[in-house]
Amino acid sequence: MKRQIEIRCGNYSDALNAQNGGASRIILSNGLYLGGLTPSIGTLLKVKENTDLEVICLVRPRTAGFYYNDDEFETMMLDAEVLLDNGADGIAFGFLDEECDIDIVHTRKMVDLIHSYHKKAFFNQAIDCVYDIDKTMCILITMGVEGIYTSGQQKNALKGKEMVHYLQDTYGQGIEVIAVEGINVDNLTKYMDDTGVFIYQTACLDWDIDPTTVKADGLFDYHDGEFEKVNWELVEAYVDEVEDDLYDFEIM
């Protein structure tokens, strides 16, 4: 399997910058500063119409955890269905119960929906909140989930390096273990060598300025008119660092 960089994108411009930097896969969401929320259909359509990117869409209706009531679950299922109808190549989601165990019933329903479209199912960083990660991994693999996003149950993948390595070593033949954030371009190759992971997700963000909020002179608390965007040169640096080598590896 080829080593790959997945870019976290919050809008159409981010996706264009990701592609211009050489990325082939993104995870698309809104509200990156909130940890990511379900993206708009318009954004997905623009990305699919004008790029060759593999697009994984995050389905997350709100911040503050992964325990959802029935109304939120129904909304998430509808969102996933609409995103799949409009070209999403995969859906990332996470369902936990009140005890921080995987919500098996809701997870199975979402996986079945995604697979009915012959698309990929990814369990998001809800997995970093569970108490029994081995049980959770076994359940996800049994359900046929294609991948998980994890920072090794720590704030970032560098701090969670030992757990990321354990998950890849123990379960990586049956599921993609995607390390999330905390690794810079200078130590990324060594991190992948040490942990064995093949996919690393990062945002590659830079800052831009919106002139209208600057001219509002403090009326709005929007970082003084600054907003984050994907920098294609940072994407290119990550891609060039790791995507040259091919490895004999398959997800079984």
Please tell me the distance from the alpha carbon of residue 117 to that of residue 251, in angstroms, as a whole number: 20
Answer whether 110's CB lies under 8 Å from 91's CB.
Answer: yes
Residue 216's pLDDT is 61
**Tens of pLDDT along 2-40?**
899 999 999 999 999 999 999 999 999 998 888 899 999
Give me the long-range contacts of 32-38 (CB less than 8 A, separation at least 24): 32/8, 32/203, 32/205, 32/228, 33/228, 34/63, 35/60, 35/63, 36/8, 36/10, 36/60, 37/61, 37/62, 37/63, 38/76, 38/79, 38/83
Instruction: Give yes or no for a contact between 12 and 46, defined as CB atoms under 8 angstroms apart.
Output: yes
200 has a pLDDT exceeding 60: yes
| 74: Cβ contacts below 8 Å, ≥ 6 apart | none
For 239, the 3-state DSSP assignment is helix
Residue found under tokens 């991190």: 191
Handedness of CA 203, 114, 247, 157 (dihedral sign): positive
237 has a pLDDT exceeding 60: yes
Q: Note the pLDDT tens digit of each residue in 119-156.
A: 999 999 999 999 999 999 999 999 999 999 999 999 99
DSSP state string for 46-107:
HHHHH---EEEEE---SSS-S---HHHHHHHHHHHHHHHHTT-SEEEE--B-TTSSB-HHHH
Give 63-100 pLDDT, tens digit per residue.
999 999 999 999 999 999 999 999 999 999 999 999 99
Note if the pTM is more than 0.75. yes
Structure-token match 């993206």, residue found: 39
Give tens-digit pLDDT for 97-121: 999 999 999 999 999 999 999 999 9
Cβ within 8 Å of residue 116, ≥6 positions away: none
| Phi then psi dihedrals of residue 30, to 5 deg | -105, 165
What distance, in Å, lies between the first and last C-alpha atoms of the chain? 12
